[in-house]
Structure 1
């Protein structure tokens, strides 16, 4: 199963669902596609679509998914990274009316540069990224929380 996550942002992101629908029709996606669509209203006979669910249910879907295709939201990306999942992130872009600015493009490029995820954005080919995901081995996610806490503790103890 492929899990597609559009998050909770109020602007629609049907551009991604149209591209995934096309990849299903072309035969580049052959497995079940489950979509958390949020505020995006889209109909497809090729995908199972729901609006919202609980955090626990989303975490369960992430665990069950072969890989994740998500918008460029940090929470949606890092949930997959923390589980060691293969993630393709797709930034919502202002030019399509999908977000208020292009910060998601910066986020996905940074995670891609560190080897944690793959990303897709036009004019790249989504079919090529789908081929790459098969052999992609994401860099293991390491939280910086312990380091930050240690630095704060050193600062307090040294004061």
Structure 2
């Protein structure tokens, strides 16, 4: 049975890390038509408080990438918090907290569905590889290139929802600088100074900039500097800015595309200590191939690429101009 049909109308326990994993599981819950009283389990952040403000939520302590010991503690907390709840299925999009979700499914004797992140183009993440070794897991890839891997099957992909089209001319703002919004997401403990420096060094006189830096704390930047932003404020800044510059975090990219914006994307690289691996480069390359982002490295970014792009993103079924 097709996954959407199999999950439609089910009451689910949905477990995901904040960031792209949470953004994806929220999208899946809507696409699959899960029961509105399904329960989400994730970490406390501005993103989770905003995205899930009208949902039922169990708040877990932060589980870092590949953090198996914290995942065990999260599993204990999750079991205690939901032991009186009734569910039809447990669903996770990772990251390491997905192993806690599997444990809960086994203890509760529930089906467990794991949908690998859309950012994984060449094979499963570390969590996905762990779950390959565990029984009673329905594992789905969003990419056909490796969906024939033993134990996996091809599921739907969130990327197929979007296309790039030429933008209508925007009214000129004579004598005004560009409005720039920069977001680095909330991944811990990885800094991304290279992106920050690239944007700062390519600003023109009169430009205004808002920064959302996460753990990349700085005291040498012009403009409005924030560690985190509420989802509503993030959306407003993406929509109103002349250019949106960001890392290749899946949650950030999907939200920009949802808002009709083609971002300028500088992926984090493991070699610079900006993430655990190079999956951000993979997702950025695929989105660039589809025309959905402008992909650059910090050294390649030019001043002119901080101008409005002339491209907007349209979602499937959207007939607006």
Calculate the TM-score normalised by the size of structure 1: 0.77
Q: Which has the higher contact order (CA 8 A, sep 6+)?
A: 1
Q: Contact conserved, 2:182 with 2:244, CA < 8 A, in 1?
A: yes
Structure with the largest fraction of helix: 1
- Classify the secondary structure of the residue corresponding to 2:314: coil
Q: CA deviation at 1:122?
A: 5.2
Q: CA deviation at 1:62?
A: 1.6
After superposing the two structures, state which structure 1 stretch, 65-74 or 42-51, moved more: 42-51
Decide which of 196, 217, 225 is 1:49's aligned counterpart. Answer: 225
Q: Cα deviation per residue 1:8-38 (whole Å; 9 max; x = unaligned)? A: 11111111111111112xx3x7421101001
Q: CA deviation at 1:140?
A: 2.3
Change (3 A) 1:34 1:8: same
Q: Structure 2: any 5+ residue segments left out of the alignment? A: 1-178
* Other-structure match for 2:314: 140
Q: Contact conserved, 1:114 with 1:139, CA < 8 A, in 2?
A: no
* Other-structure match for 1:121: 297
Structure with the largest fraction of strand: 2
Q: Structure 1: any 5+ residue segments left out of the alignment? A: 144-159
Q: CA deviation at 1:134?
A: 3.7
Q: Contact conserved, 2:269 with 2:278, CA < 8 A, in 1?
A: yes
| Runs of 4 or more above 6 Å deviation | none
* Other-structure match for 2:169: none
After superposing the two structures, state which structure 1 stretch, 53-62 or 7-16, moved more: 53-62
* Other-structure match for 1:4: 182
CA RMSD of aligned residues (A): 2.1
Q: Contact conserved, 2:235 with 2:259, CA < 8 A, in 1?
A: no
Decide which of 198, 215, 225 is 1:19's aligned counterpart. Answer: 198
Q: CA deviation at 1:82?
A: 1.3
Q: Tell me, in whole angstroms, the C-alpha distance in 2 between the residues paired with 1:129 and 1:71.
A: 19
Structure number with bigger Rg: 2
- Classify the secondary structure of the residue corresponding to 1:44: coil
- Classify the secondary structure of the residue corresponding to 1:126: coil
Change (3 A) 1:110 1:126: same
Change (3 A) 1:121 1:73: same
Calculate the TM-score normalised by the size of structure 2: 0.40
Q: Tell me, in whole angstroms, the C-alpha distance in 1 between the residues paired with 2:206 and 2:280.
A: 28
